[in-house]
Structure 1
């Protein structure tokens, strides 16, 4: 059986975060060296740090919160596709790939690993991708960049298009050394009541490998 591949960005103090967001910081609130019993860690962060999923409430006041989402969306068969070399990706680019009926797809858009600084520009998804994915029965899309929309977007057209078409969003996965093909995905969000998103530990395992 194939090994699980970790496609999660590591969380560490000083890691890149959205400009203006709460940066990730980890430290000890209690140390065994001082209390003689245990170390106890604490961290502060944003719900959209590193590898994470968006709940519809992130961009829609009437949208579902993270704890209300169906966990089955984040577990199961997925297709990993290479769409690097495109400044944006939509119906035209995906029509060139065989989705094989997968309900989840992961897009290698940059092929880069965990960045040491927040990018200034990223490849993004065009709004026509939502209807296309609905036609194909896709319920989740994962990307290796911080957002499905341009970083300076105020309208979040791709977010809304995916939401209207029943497609959940997984962002900031790491696909640098992963080959295209069919995989099993596990990327469960934390059950944070009322939250607009959640960091995840995303892993994949090759099917048939």
Structure 2
């Protein structure tokens, strides 16, 4: 197998965040000079910062919370497909790829990440896609943009349809320079009790014979 590749956004002050959400902030609350022994960091942020998972509780009042998610879902074989430049993700596009029995599907749409700029639009996922993915066996979808729904959506139809078909959500992966193929994925959420999601350190490793 190949080496591990980091597909998560670096977390840093000034990075893009959801409008209205708390921005990411890291600072030293105490320095080694002040304590005599150690630096002590402090951070505050929205849970939905950078590369992150959505727990169902994010959009459903009685949905599973972050600490209730099955961690096995976020570790294992994944397929990355390249839909670069597409403005709409449709079943017709997905039908061009061998997705049967793919449990974890990662979708690449961008060739130029802009971590300091929140996008004004994202690719639109057609409303029949969740059912199509369910029939393929998909249980986790990962995308390289901040929401599986349109940015101004309040109803969040794709979030809800994915949940109805037991498909979990990973957003803001960084795969612009990675070729499509089969990989091993690790994208573990933090064990946040009562959480509605979690930032993740997402990494992938090419599987033997997993080329484009």
TM-score by length of 1: 0.97
Aligned residues: 209
User: What is the aligned partner in structure 2 of residue 96 from structure 1?
Assistant: 96
Deviation at residue 111 of structure 1 after TM alignment = 2.8
**Are the equivalent residues in 1 in contact too, given 2:14–2:116 (CA < 8 A)?**
no
C-alpha RMSD of the superposition: 1.1
Matched, 1:159 2:159: yes
Inter-partner Cα distance in structure 2 for 1:146 and 1:82: 17
Deviation at residue 88 of structure 1 after TM alignment = 1.6
**Are the equivalent residues in 2 in contact too, given 1:124–1:147 (CA < 8 A)?**
no
**Are the equivalent residues in 2 in contact too, given 1:114–1:174 (CA < 8 A)?**
no
Inter-partner Cα distance in structure 2 for 1:79 and 1:206: 10
**Are the equivalent residues in 2 in contact too, given 1:9–1:114 (CA < 8 A)?**
no
Inter-partner Cα distance in structure 2 for 1:90 and 1:155: 20
User: What is the aligned partner in structure 2 of residue 61 from structure 1?
Assistant: 61
**Are the equivalent residues in 1 in contact too, given 2:79–2:180 (CA < 8 A)?**
yes
Deviation at residue 33 of structure 1 after TM alignment = 1.2
User: What is the aligned partner in structure 2 of residue 35 from structure 1?
Assistant: 35
User: What is the aligned partner in structure 2 of residue 123 from structure 1?
Assistant: 123
**Cα offsets for 1:145-192 (capped at 9, x unmatched):** 000011011111110110000100000000011000000000000000
Gaps of 5+ in 1: none
Matched, 1:148 2:144: no
Runs of at least 4 residues of structure 1 off by over 6 A? Answer: none
Deviation at residue 90 of structure 1 after TM alignment = 2.7
Deviation at residue 114 of structure 1 after TM alignment = 4.5
Gaps of 5+ in 2: none
